[in-house]
Amino acid sequence: MVNNIANHSSFPAVTIDSQMLLKMVNEARKLCGEPSVRNNKFIEKIEDELEGETYTKSVGRKNGADIDVISMTIKQALRVAARESKAVRRTLVDKLESMQEAHIKSGKSASGLVEYRQARTLKMTVEAVTNLFDLMPNLAPEAKQTAAASIINPLVG
């Protein structure tokens, strides 16, 4: 499962849980002819690699048994992946980086606050332009259009 959570800064970070990362690791290991890793050993490896860092640990269920699940950033997952063999590591790094890039390209914030502020700024700017035109009733329509475009276009891109 991939989520957006806030890291130590105010910017959202892409996260991945240990179950999804384990699935990716075991698929890559299978392609490389290596044995799969059990969840408990993988959790030990993650905890060792991320010792002293912030991550979320919870309990999930798999096949009727309780299992530990760790949620970490993609950057942390890349460090965990670095402990795999060269062939497995290359596959994992490519997949994790593409997940990060897909999130960045989506351009959406986790909270929607950025989009709200942009919309509010645009609304206020349109109102200000309208008020400005009310003060200048004799302004030609072409001049109004040019003025409005030069003020609003930078806001909407």
pLDDT in tens, 37-71: 999 999 999 999 999 988 889 888 888 888 999 99
On the question of pLDDT at 104 being above 70, the answer is no
Residue 126 has pLDDT above 90, yes or no: no
Can you read off the two tokens belonging to residue 13?
A: 């970070």
Q: Is the dihedral of CA 69, 74, 77, 79 positive or negative?
A: negative
How far is it, in rounded angstroms, from Cα 139 to Cα 120?
A: 27
CA-to-CA distance for 83 and 140, rounded, in angstroms?
A: 68
Mean pLDDT to the nearest integer, 98-117: 71
Give me the helix-helix angle, 74-81 and 86-106, nearest 10°.
Answer: 170
- Average pLDDT on 60-89 reads 89
How is residue 150 written in tokens? Answer: 């030069």
β-pair partners for 58 = 69
